[in-house]
Amino acid sequence: MILLNISEIQKTMVQLLARTAFDEFLLEQAEIITFGKMALSGKRNADWYDEAVESDWLYWNEVKSFVFSYIKGERTPSVMRISFKASDTLGGKMMRDSGVLAEYLEERPDLNLQIRYEKDALVVVTGITRKIFTMDKTMEFAWDQAVTRFFKELGIAFY
């Protein structure tokens, strides 16, 4: 687990809300506080759809326009917390050069990414939820490196 302090908040928000960089992430939950509080569960309501759905979780690209509509205006949210997990496809892409791809594909742990904006500061926190108990942190370190590389490729500065 690592914590990245993002120094380019506006650039990150553009990538999150207006571009496609985060679209393959699955939304676990979001909480946004402006004039009121909006809380979203990313768990898909399968009964709402007429046909079978691909995922039990909503992809970020299905939700981001609603989030953007809620926060746009003259004032920034006082709090915004978004919890993602990588879809299987995205996880495979991001872990491809990690040295633990085969282990990842066999186990399919949740690769978590939290984005937290509060008090004019933006942080990103990584995490991994394994399906087995192990003292080996190699996969966690690989996920941390993949996320760091992801933000560097987007041109987003952090410390």
Q: 91-133: per-residue pLDDT in tens?
A: 999 999 899 999 999 999 999 999 999 999 999 999 999 988 9
Q: What is the pLDDT of residue 53?
A: 85
pTM score above 0.85? yes
pLDDT at 71 over 90: yes
Please say whether the beta carbons of 13 and 61 come within 8 A.
no
Q: What is the band of 68 on the pLDDT scale with cuts at 50, 70, 90?
A: very high
User: Which tens digits make up the pLDDT trace of 15-61?
Assistant: 999 999 999 999 999 999 999 999 999 999 999 999 988 889 999 99
